[in-house]
Structure 1
C-alpha cells in the first residue's frame, strides 16, 4: 500500500483514507476506515474529471451497476456519493492481490489454482448476469485473488444486458487483449461476451502472457477476431474448457453455470487459502495485515 501523497484526498464521506491501493485512468483506490472500524476500498475520481458532466454520468452508472451485484465473488458497494466535489464509491475491502500482479511477479498459476479461478469467475459472472448486466471488462487487472477465492471488481464500463447505457452499438470500449470478437467489432453484446473474456483471462493466468499477443490495440483486436489462439501451453484438464469459452460464435460458448459444472466434474474447486500457490498466498496475507494496522491518528493505549 502506498502512503498518501500531498495531492491525495484525506477523507471521502465518513471514511478516513489510510493509503493508496492502486490507480487507473478514472481515479485512485484507497484503503478507507470508518469511525466504527469498518475497512473499505474507496474509489475517488480524479479532480480533473470531477467537473466533466459526461464523466459524472458514467460514474453514476458505475455505482448503480455495482449496487445491483452482490455475491461471494464480487465486492459489494457499501456507500457512495456521486454528487460530491470529488465523487467516490466505497466497496467491501477484499484482502487480495490483482491477478495481473500475481502472474507478473510469480509467473503462471498451477492447474489446481486455475480450476478454482474458473469456477470463482464463473460464479461472479452468474451473479452479474442475474442482475441483467454485462461486465464488458473482465481481465486480470479486475480480478482480485483472495484466500476465499477470486473476486471480480470494477463495473466502470458495464451496461445493462438489454443494451441500454451510455455507449451505443458501434463503439469499442474495453481492454483489447480480453475483448470478445463481437465486442472488438462494436456489435451488440450478450452475456456470452463476458465468457470469452473469462477464457482469455484464465489463459493469461495459465501462460503468463496475453493469449492474443501484445502490440497496438488494432493488431491485437484483429487477432481476437480472425485467428485461433494456440492453447498448447494450457494444462490438459483445462484446454477443452478454455477453448469452449473462446468460440468465435457467442452461441457456442458455455454459460457460467455450465463452466462451474465442468470444473466440479473433476472434483470441487478449493475455496480456502490452500488454493493459491505459496508466493501468492504470502502476498495476500500481507494485504490482510492492512486490516489490523493502526488507524490514522490512533495512539497506543
Structure 2
C-alpha cells in the first residue's frame, strides 16, 4: 500500500483545487473557462507532488495544450514515485456551465502500467454494483442482464433504475430497458459519477448502460475496482482512422474489456470532488473568506472509501484547509 499511503490525500488536494478554481465559472455559460480554470489548477497541484507521473488518460494530444495532454509529465520527481495518471479536470463541463447537477473534478492514479491507455473514442459500457459483479455480460440481451441484476440485488426489475446518457443513439436501448420493466434515468453528461452512484448502495441508481467516452471508462474502472463493482466495455470506433489507431495501440474492437483489463494496477487511488451538487457529492459552496468542498477518495489496496468535507479558509492571500 506504499503508493496509496503516500498519495491518497494528495489526490484529494488535486481534485479540490480543480473544483475550487472551476467553481468561479459555474452557471456562467462558458465551458471553455470552466475547463481551463480546472485544468490549470490540476496541473499546478500535480506539479507540486513528489512524483514522476505521466498522463495516460487526458483531454487531448500535446498540441491541444493548455489541456492536460496524453504523455504530459507531472510532478517534481523528488521521490521517484513513478505513476500513471488519468484525469478529467471537469467531467460535465456543459452541466457545470449551466449550473446543473453532477459536475465533478476527477483523477485516478496507479503504478506505471496500472491504467489502460485508451484512445478518445466511444465505448459501449455496462456498469453494475458489487453484488452483480460476475453475474452480467455486455453481450447478453438487455432483459437477461436486468433479470440477473435484479436477482443479485434481491429486488424486482420494476425496482431498478438504469442510468443512460440522453443521446439519440440510445433510443433502442432506452426502449428495451423500459420494455423489460425497469426505470430509466437520463443524464446529459457524467457517466463517471453515475457509475460511482451505481456502485454504492442508497443512491437509487442500480446500473449504467450505453455508449460513452473510452477514457472515462478507464477512470470508472479504477473506481469500480476499488469498490468491488464491475464495468465491462467494448471500444466502438466510428471510422477507419479510429480503427487503425485502436489497432496501433494493441486494442481489439471485438473484445469485451473487464474492470481488470481497464485498470490492471494493484496500487490504485481514485478521487473526485463535487463542482455542482449531485446525488453523491455536493458542489463547491462559497462563503465570505473561503469555500467548502465535498470529495470521495478510495484506494484499491486498503479497500477504504472516504468522504471528505473540507473548509478552505482564505486569509491575507493564504489558504488554510480544515477537513472533517
TM-score w.r.t. structure 1 length?
0.25
If each structure's helix is expressed as a fraction of its own residues, which one has the higher value?
1
If each structure's strand is expressed as a fraction of its own residues, which one has the higher value?
2
> Which protein, 1 or 2, shows the higher relative CO under an 8 Å CA cutoff with sep ≥ 6?
2
TM-score w.r.t. structure 2 length?
0.24
